[in-house]
Amino acid sequence: MDHQSFLVSVLESHWATDMSKPVVAILVGTRPEIIKVAPVIRQLKKRTIPFIFIHSNQHYTKELDETILSDLKLDRPDYQLRVGSGTHAVQTGKIMERVEKICFQKKVSILVVHGDTNTTLAGALTAKKLQIMVCHIEAGLRSFDYRMPEEINRIITDRISDVLFAPTLIAQQNLINEGIRSESIIVTGNTVVDALRQHQKMARKRHTFKHLSVKPGQYLLLTMHRAENVDDKGKFIKLLELITYISKRLALPVLWPIHPRSLKQLTQFDIIIPPEIIKINAVGYLDMIQLLSNASMILTDSGGIQEEAYILKKPLITLRSSTERPETLSANFVVDTDVDKVDQALQAFRANTIKWGNELGDGLASMRIAAKLEELLEQKEH
């Protein structure tokens, strides 16, 4: 794509923004990031804080992205960069180049990034080099697994951020342990709690189960898409065997709303899914809330789903060797492909010894974040 014409979707804001005044840029790259920043965007609008919304399209499926925006009742991003897939270096470089142009064009004063994707890192690096203030939502999460690209993104982004919105006390302590000044850290709670609370009522109105062969409360829910799980044929098959084992032990079918990446790899590897696993097309956010809320147990390799399962008080098996969400471990069993660990999880499930708390927040994280952004903008105006 000609880099001069990368701004394929520039939309006018609902209200005029005086670009001579400081402006906030909200940068996302994936659907989970859209979900988690949506409550912040609502708060910015409520406070009439000038902002622009940028989507790198790091992971982009037109239908799924549009469904998410519709479910969240969000306007389309002001800028869609269409960087698409690629190596980490190619993807990060494209995002940096394109975000830099927007920062110059719109005179961005504060860049807000979220999470741990290549978009997060690229945005933070770009802003820092332009001497633009960087604010990181979901700062301080650590898996301590340096094989994960996301762990590298988290560490570097936190190191160069000016304001770090830590979702939990554990995240705050991780940052302090790394030598980050405590004055730069604000414990806000996790915006995923805000998002769930704001949309659960709407989700309950969906006819999610109308065309499904499973009934509420009588299935296990699976989400699996991480590269280390689905890009390796041997690991992929081993995980499917493990999931089938869990299904048989609990005598419940597994419902799998399949991620585009996983579907592509299934086809490429010519893998036949066991009959215990019911594959359906990927679903929107509201339908996913319904599927999560009505599952007996959740199996996932997603960080966001770990949080949502914990908030919804659902037993959880994480199909990874580590987690950056230790707050969930009273109800979250990290098993990778270890059958013994799965058996321990199932024993706890049957013995009803799983516990949930409120460590992830009170649903007011977005309000705290928006209030701080408003304060920072006011300081820049004077």
Is the pLDDT confidence value at 16 over 70? no
Please, which pLDDT band fits residue 63 given cuts at 50, 70 and 90? confident
**211 is a catalytic site residue:** no
The phi and psi torsions of 211 (rounded to 5 degrees) equal -110, 20
**Could you tell me the pLDDT band of residue 20, with boundaries at 50, 70 and 90?**
low
Give residue 62's pLDDT: 78
User: Which of 55, 59, 199, 225 is an active site residue?
Assistant: 225
Residue-wise pLDDT tens digits, 178-214: 999 999 999 999 999 999 999 999 999 999 999 999 9
CB-based contacts of 192, cutoff 8 Å, min separation 6: 35, 36, 304, 307, 308, 311, 360
Q: Using CA atoms, how far apart are residues 203 and 208, in angstroms rounded to an integer? A: 9
pLDDT of residue 19: 52
b/e map 156-176, b = 16+ CB within 10 Å = ebbeebbbbbbbbebbbbbbe
CA distance 358 to 311: 8
All structural domains of the chain: 3-189+364-381 (3.40.50.2000), 208-351 (3.40.50.2000)
3-state secondary structure of 101: helix
pLDDT of residue 350: 93
Q: Which tens digit of pLDDT belongs to each residue from 248-261?
A: 999 999 999 999 99
Share of the chain above pLDDT 90, in %: 90
What does the pLDDT read at residue 209? Answer: 97
pLDDT of residue 13: 39
Note the pLDDT tens digit of each residue in 99-113. Answer: 999 999 999 999 999
Residue 315 tokens, joined = 């037993």
Q: Find the angle CA(311)-CA(136)-CA(286) to the nearest 5 degrees.
A: 35
Residue with tokens 């897939």, as numbered in its chain: 85
